[in-house]
Amino acid sequence: MTRADELQKVQELYLMQIELWKVLDEDMSSAAALRQAREQLKTFAALLKQVSWEHMGGEDVYMTLQQMCEEAGQKLSHAPVRALAKKPTVVKRTVMRSAQSKGKKGKKC
């Protein structure tokens, strides 16, 4: 990879970091928000593995981003998820007519 490619990935990584924290600081009670945060974290972790620490300001910066990735993962694993409201189930009931209502003789209950 060229130096320009590496620097581009580092820039994407920093932008993703900001976006990831925005999502994590929001209300994480919905399943959609939690799913979005997990997808962003997965993409962030994959990009972090591709980038060399030499292009991002040093090994300490790389270690800080790894630690942030782990903390975000822990926060997502402990996030309470509110279940979506279920639609009421409609039960179709059939009414059985007794033998007497059909004009036939039968047992009385």
Task: State the pLDDT at residue 42.
Answer: 92
> What is the average per-residue pLDDT within 70-88?
71
- Using pLDDT thresholds of 50, 70 and 90, give the confidence band for residue 109: very low
Report the percentage of the chain scoring pLDDT > 70: 69
> What is the average per-residue pLDDT within 90-106?
60
Task: State the pLDDT at residue 93.
Answer: 67
pLDDT in tens, 40-58: 899 989 988 888 888 877 8
- Using pLDDT thresholds of 50, 70 and 90, give the confidence band for residue 101: low
Report the percentage of the chain scoring pLDDT > 90: 5
Q: How would you classify residue 77: left for phi > 0, otherwise alpha for psi between -120 and 50, otherwise beta?
A: alpha
SS (H, E, C) the chain: CCHHHHHHHHHHHHHHHHHHHHHHHCCCCCHHHHHHHHHHHHHHHHHHHHCCHHHCCCHHHHHHHHHHHHHHHHHHHCCCCCCCCCCCCCCCCCCCCCCCCCCCCCCCC
Two tokens, residue 18? 């900001």
